[in-house]
Structure 1
């Protein structure tokens, strides 16, 4: 960095820059991520918040970007809980295009476990 008088003040290391960027974007926080794609004029933060809160969760981080090729808005939500299958289902029910999500899927795991129990029962 250089001060207004062209005097050397110091540098910002790559590590410090990445650490601050992670803090700013909430990347180090706990919880699940959901990425939704939509037309820019369709964004309603209050509606997204309402839909998430109907599933006993809260949005702890919210970031947006425009996809350079399609012009579509990508909204990234960090949710305060890991199990988000209800939230993803709710967003899809309200015609939101969920592009990506990370977190636990209780239903998928439960369905797999129930299937394994059924297979064990049938082989008896």
Structure 2
């Protein structure tokens, strides 16, 4: 799915002519602690509720913040997983999307991105998660898949992440089986380090639980 297909037209934008008080009302109405500031098609940055609350004059226009805002955004050609990563790492409720001409196209909420990841990352399928740790030179997805197949376990999806603190590769596997003892034992026989195991994983409806599972799944 292209990133622009996830854009939510209901997410409002702030204009430079809006006042600080206007922005606070809009943030309260949307329950989003940050909103994009846009002048026509020109994206100026994200306006935080905390900055507005600390501002002395509520009648000042938002143009006073131009040039001082975080211009966090995703280009439309990026994969939605990159938008998820951006939302999580920067702790923002919405991710603005720009085209190749740097024009503002719209924004995507963090909740919508989580829902997309859950629907498209096999997270709603029954099964479990295994996290392997290894040196970069030891990584072979083919061998990992053969070990799983030998235990009648299918890899539904995988993520590869380099831990910057340890320099080790972490490979997260979403499997179709909830009972993972035999495949874990098989990995250990092949001298793989099994860092984490999450078995018997039901579909999560609670956002906090889904957030925790997504963090494990995409290794962020």
TM-score exceeds 0.5 = yes
SS at 2:105 equivalent: coil
Judged with a 3 Å threshold, the aligned counterparts in structure 2 of structure 1 residues 50 and 2 are, in CA distance, closer, same or farther, namely closer
Q: Distance in 1 between matches of 2:128 and 2:102?
A: 46
Q: Note the 1:2-21 alignment, pairs <5 A.
A: 2-3=98-99, 4=101, 6=103, 8-21=104-117
Contact 1:62/1:77 (CA < 8 Å) preserved in 2?
yes
For residue 24 of structure 1, report the CA deviation from its aligned partner: 4.5
SS at 2:107 equivalent: coil
SS at 1:17 equivalent: helix
Alignment match of 1:84 (pick from 172, 180, 192): 180
Moved more, 49-58 or 13-22: 13-22
Q: Does 1:57 align with 2:159?
A: no
Q: Distance in 1 between matches of 2:144 and 2:108?
A: 36
For residue 27 of structure 1, report the CA deviation from its aligned partner: 3.1
Q: Distance in 1 between matches of 2:159 and 2:143?
A: 15
**Length, aligned pairs only:** 103
Structure 1 unaligned blocks of 5 or more: 105-124
Structure 2 unaligned blocks of 5 or more: 1-96, 201-220
Paired position in structure 2 for 1:96: 192
Higher RCO (C-alpha 8 Å, min separation 6): 1
What's the TM-score, normalizing by structure 2? 0.43
Q: Distance in 2 between matches of 1:87 and 1:40?
A: 22
Contact 1:37/1:96 (CA < 8 Å) preserved in 2?
yes
What's the TM-score, normalizing by structure 1? 0.74
SS at 1:9 equivalent: strand
SS at 1:11 equivalent: strand
Q: Distance in 1 between matches of 2:148 and 2:163?
A: 24
For residue 92 of structure 1, report the CA deviation from its aligned partner: 0.4
Q: Distance in 2 between matches of 1:52 and 1:5?
A: 45
For residue 30 of structure 1, report the CA deviation from its aligned partner: 2.0
Residue by residue, what CA displacement relative to the aligned partner does 1:71-124 show, whole Å, maximum 9, x if unpaired?
1000001111111100000000110000000115xxxxxxxxxxxxxxxxxxxx
